[in-house]
Amino acid sequence: MTFRSSFGICFAILTTCAVACGEAPRLPDLSKYAKSIAGWEDEVSRLEAKDAVNPDPEDAVLLIGSSSIRLWKTAAEDLAPYPVIERGYGGASFADLAHYAERIVSPHRYRAAVVFCANDVTGGAGDRSPEEVAEWFGYVADVLRRHEPDAPVICCDVRPTPSRHHVWDKTKAVNAALKAECDKRAGVYYLDTADEYLLDNGDARSDVYRADRLHLNDAGYELWSSQIKAELDRVLGEESSAKMPVYSDEDAIPEPASEDAVEALHSGTNQSKVEADRAGKPLRVLLVAGPKDHDAGEHDYPSWLDVWSQLLPRSPGVEVDSAWEFPTAEQADGADVMVFYQRGRWDDERAAVIDPFLDRGGGLVYIHWAVDGRGGEQAMAERIGLSAKGGGGIKYRHGELDLDFTPGAGHPVARNLHRARWTDESYWALTGDPSRLTLLGAGVEDGAPQPLFWTMEHASGGRVFVSIPGHYMWTFDDPVYRTLLLRGVAWAGHRNVDRFNEVAMLGARVAE
């Protein structure tokens, strides 16, 4: 066992050195497939013509491979904020991709690369062996790493499809070989997506594919892009973690609230009611996060999930679970409050989970960009009060926010809170009817007060608390903002708003 581990490490080091030090990788013998490879010359020439007239965006992700790449018309939107360079061609296999790799890759500078080819095993007489496919992919990966030694390479597995499910066992063998090839190389990662495309009985899902039962439909691309983006977040963070600051600009970190300010905010707490609340049924909180989509210290949903998953259970009588992207109906059934901090969206599938939850009196907390409806903003606003219409459909400003909480003076969430100042981001020009809200706090934008904190109660008993600030991670570390958010969680769950007071200061930044 020791020998194997040492050999693997040495092999990875030697491979990395050979690639990164500029030695050109050796092209495998493809003479057996020369005729079929030559048939892709026109397609590759088309990509070269595209290179000549389309300058690459900076710090882009290079997408190469077969028709799932070529047909991905929303890649730039789906993988935002990562810019993309799409260079796919329909019908590509790893044999021809290896042959043309230098021509496809060399014109580009890229931050990361994503590779997907799904045509080496189709159930025909020309199916290639797992060993062949792995060798060809290894060459492509080496070409990518040679041109950009610091750019991670992600190899997507071959997904199960209804039209080719009869060769799924062969495809799984190819995937295993691809993973083994990735494991030999530093900076090369295998992305296993297959389980999400299978039904419980092992058959391939049809709802994420077009009528041809082979190519992804819109729902399929939404799923695939979320998997790829999450992996990009992971590997790019892993590659650059040593140089990533905690916040975007250390000099810009604002002064936090003082301990005296927090004590004043907590004054008037009825401790006997707090203890009675904690002694009752546990408060079940489900935290919902998603892939990070901004710079360091901004929209850092995974870090928030990690911190708050540890913070909330420090309060007695609290049970915490988490969901990635969106909860299942079963997860919602097991929660009293669901807290969303992610890039939001709204559609019928989400309504099918949220509406029954609100109907039974469940509580929702939406923080910052979680209010984005992405085309479903009107329906989302009916549930949470106000919603954003994507990045270009609202107004926003980063900077110092001077908030007036006198509108919410009579609400338990805003008790003792009169004014607050945070360096964060405001949104306004949102979709929805403000008259349906209970306004807690407002900030002046465009010369008029704009709602930045509010609550909403449904006739069913369902409750909603919304905080528009929450762009920067330092805001979550401010004890006054944290108190406000904790109160919102408790209130949405029909619990005493002071039940989290003791944890508001844990790990918080407090002014000297």
Would you state the pLDDT for residue 144?
97
Question: Given a cut of 90, is residue 510 above it in pLDDT?
Answer: no
Look at strands 337-341 and 318-324 and give their pairing: unpaired
Structure tokens, 207: 């709802």
Structure tokens, 5: 């581990």
**pLDDT tens digits for 262-300?**
999 999 999 999 999 999 999 999 999 998 877 778 899
Cα separation, 458 vs 356, in Å, equals: 12
Q: Phi, psi (5° rounding) for residue 338? A: -115, 125
Question: Given a cut of 50, is residue 95 above it in pLDDT?
Answer: yes
Cα separation, 382 vs 291, in Å, equals: 26
Q: pTM higher than 0.75 for the full model?
A: no
Question: Given a cut of 70, is residue 204 above it in pLDDT?
Answer: yes
Edge-to-edge strand ranges of the sheet holding 112-116: 84-88, 61-65, 112-116, 153-156, 188-191
**pLDDT tens digits for 133-181?**
999 999 999 999 999 998 999 999 999 999 999 999 999 999 999 999 9
Question: Given a cut of 70, is residue 483 above it in pLDDT?
Answer: yes
Would you state the pLDDT for residue 9?
34
**pLDDT tens digits for 217-241?**
999 999 999 999 989 988 886 443 3
Would you state the pLDDT for residue 234?
83
As a whole-number percent, the residues of the chain with pLDDT over 70 amount to 91
Q: How many CB atoms lie within 10 A of CB 316?
A: 15
Would you state the pLDDT for residue 292?
83
Cα separation, 383 vs 362, in Å, equals: 12
**pLDDT tens digits for 319-349?**
999 999 999 999 999 999 999 999 999 999 9
Name the strand (E) or helix (H) holding 283. strand 283-289
Q: Which of 16-25, 301-310, 503-512 has the lowest mean pLDDT?
A: 16-25
Q: From the centroid of its chain, how far is CA 352?
A: 22
299 burial type by CB count under 10 A (0-12 exposed, 13-18 middle, 19+ buried): buried
Cα separation, 383 vs 401, in Å, equals: 26
Question: Given a cut of 50, is residue 246 above it in pLDDT?
Answer: no
Would you state the pLDDT for residue 4?
31
Cα separation, 256 vs 509, in Å, equals: 6
Would you state the pLDDT for residue 340?
98
Average of per-residue pLDDT across 416-439: 94
Cα separation, 156 vs 224, in Å, equals: 10
**440 contacts 411 by C-beta, under 8 angstroms:** yes
Hey, is 386 helix, strand or coil? strand
Q: Which of 205-209, 290-294, 312-316 has the lowest mean pLDDT?
A: 290-294
Question: Given a cut of 70, is residue 1 above it in pLDDT?
Answer: no
Using CA atoms, how far residue 511 sits from 18, 266, 480, in Å, is 52, 17, 11
DSSP single-letter state for residue 511: B
Question: Given a cut of 80, is residue 420 above it in pLDDT?
Answer: yes
Structure tokens, 6: 């040492």
| Residue of 28 and 294 predicted with greater confidence | 28
**292 contacts 306 by C-beta, under 8 angstroms:** no
Q: What is the DSSP string of 308-342?
A: HHHHGGGSTTEEEEEEESS--HHHHHT-SEEEEES
Question: Given a cut of 80, is residue 450 above it in pLDDT?
Answer: yes
- Provide the mean pLDDT of the chain: 89
Closest CA to 111 of 56, 29, 170: 56
Cα separation, 283 vs 490, in Å, equals: 8
**420 contacts 480 by C-beta, under 8 angstroms:** yes
Cα separation, 468 vs 453, in Å, equals: 6
Cα separation, 132 vs 184, in Å, equals: 16
> Can you list the domains of the chain with their CATH numbers?
31-242 (3.40.50.1110), 250-505 (3.40.50.880)
Structure tokens, 489: 């969680």
Closest CA to 508 of 287, 307, 295: 307
